[in-house]
Each structure stands twice: as C-alpha cells, then as structure tokens.
Amino acid sequence: MDATVVPAEADRKVLVRLDAVEQLYDRKIRILGPIDLEIREGEFLSLVGPSGCGKSTLLRIVAGVLQPTRGRVFLGDRLLEGVNRSAALVFQSFALFPWLTVVDNVALGLEARGLGVHERLKKAEKYIDLAGLAGYERAYPKELSRGMKQLVGVARALAVEPELLCMDEPFSALDVLTARTMRDLVLDLWASPQVLTKSILLVTHSIEEAVSLSDRVVVLKANPGRIADMVDLTSLPRPRRADAPAVREVVDRMYTLLA
C-alpha cells in the first residue's frame, strides 16, 4: 500500500473487540450490555453517557481488570484472558504513590514489564519530558498541582508504550482552564511521532469533551448500559471549536439522544 494513503476508518485493524459483553451484579442485576464494540488501530474513541450507565465498567473490561459476566473480549483475533497488557490506564484520581518521586511513579509500571533500571529511567524521562514535566523528575506528588499530577498519570501510562491508552474521566478533577490545556496536550501526544500509542479510549460524561477530541463517540444509555448511538466524527477537522456549526450540530444531537 502507498504509505501516503491513510486507510479508511472501517478498514483499520481492530485492536479490541467486545462480543456480546454483559456485566451483572449479584448474578441478577444487569448493569451493562449486551455490548458489541470495536476499538480500531489509530482511533480516538470516547464513551459518553450519564453517571452510572457503565462507562467505567466497560473501560475496566477492555483493560482486562474486570472479567465480564458474559460475552467475550478479543485482542485482534486472540481471546483476552486476564489483564490486557496492550492497554494502560489513566484515572480521574491520578492514583500516584505519594512516597515516590515523579520519575519513580512513571517508571513503576516498566519494572513489571521486565525492563532494566537504565532503560526504565530513560523511558520514564522521555515521557516526563513529552508531558511537559521536565525539571520535576525528583519532585513528590504533594509538591505538584492537580494538573501536573495528572500529567504524571499520563506519562506513567504512555511510558509502558501501550497500543491503547484508556482514560477514565481524566480531566474531571481539574479546573476548567487546566482541563482545556490537558485536552490539547493529549491530542498533541496522540499525534506526536515520538509517542507510540496510537489508540485512545476516553470515558467522559462531557458530550462537548467527547466531540472536541474523538474520531468516534459511543453514546451509552443507562439501565442497563447499552449503546444508543455511534457517532463518526472523522470528517470534522481538528482543532474543533465549540462554536463551529458542525460541532454544535453533533453536540445538540447527542443531548437530544440522552435527554
């Protein structure tokens, strides 16, 4: 294939495929599904929906930290069993270890992946740098602003060079301006040739956030969590201004759907 030809969205390799996935609690209360969903190579996919509709549950199933009650998860054509080693997580609460410095927090996941100490530090420093935290390698989380803590969370996830970056409401604990800066930064990292991760799964309750960032948006409805719509935004160029008519139209359509 000609290297300049970008494959059509639908022709891209499937990284993760959910096949009739359901989550039940107490063996009777269905909170999610059945869900069929594909996450494709190179795409920025968002899950939006009201609180409690199962977004975090779905993300945890994709990351392999939660085994679905029913249905199957495939990585390519291989059945996922246990933790998804090709995915890394970013949490709303940052989830940093307060007794570790920035560089040690970022390097932590690399030890589990079998890298030697020198390589761990090199990789951690690369992603700290890309996240804009150069100079803070030896700082402790308590010395950082909330936005900077989340940058550490992003650097830590990217450092393991996962195929898929999974983020669960990563900007919800940040003030409006910091959140905006972080969204731009995540888009820059995603587009950067230095960052190997090329697929992002973002969970958010913000329709505006999903529309400003994503290639595709999965709109979920609650009780049980089901796919209400799948919106393809690949034809909307970035950066997307909230007041652009095409953007407003999609946002309004999603609000109507979720009303």
| Closer Cβ to ligand ADP, 4 or 51, answer by number | 51
Whether 248 contacts 84, CB under 8 Å: no
Shortest approach of ligand ADP to residue 22 CB, angstroms?
Answer: 12
**How far is Cα 215 from Cα 192, in angstroms, rounded to an integer?**
17
Residues 5-34 that bind Mg ion (CB under 5 A): none
Q: Cβ contacts of residue 158 below 8 Å, gap of 6+? A: 88, 127, 130, 131, 165, 189, 195, 197
Shortest approach of ligand ADP to residue 50 CB, angstroms?
Answer: 7
| Closer Cβ to ligand ADP, 124 or 219, answer by number | 219
Choose from ligand ADP, Mg ion, none: what does 31 bind? Cβ within 5-8 Å by kind.
Answer: ligand ADP
Distance from the Cα of residue 212 to its chain's centroid = 14
Choose from Mg ion, ligand ADP, none: what does 54 bind? Cβ within 5-8 Å by kind.
Answer: ligand ADP
Whether 211 contacts 217, CB under 8 Å: yes
**How far is Cα 88 from Cα 106, in angstroms, rounded to an integer?**
12
Shortest approach of ligand ADP to residue 20 CB, angstroms?
Answer: 18
Shortest approach of Mg ion to residue 62 CB, angstroms?
Answer: 13
Choose from Mg ion, ligand ADP, none: what does 57 bind? Cβ within 5-8 Å by kind.
Answer: ligand ADP
**How far is Cα 84 from Cα 118, in angstroms, rounded to an integer?**
25
Establish if 56 lies at the interface with Mg ion (CB under 5 A): yes
Residue of 227, 180, 170, 168 whose CA lies nearest to 208: 180
Please give the residue ranges that form the binding site for ligand ADP (CB under 6 A): 25, 31, 49, 51-57
Shortest approach of ligand ADP to residue 91 CB, angstroms?
Answer: 12
Query: ∠ at Cα 90 (148, 181), nearest 5°?
Result: 40
Scanning 10-18, 50-58, 100-108, 152-160 for contacts with Mg ion by CB under 5 A, the matching segment is 50-58
Establish if 172 lies at the interface with Mg ion (CB under 5 A): no
The footprint of Mg ion (CB under 5 A) covers 55-56
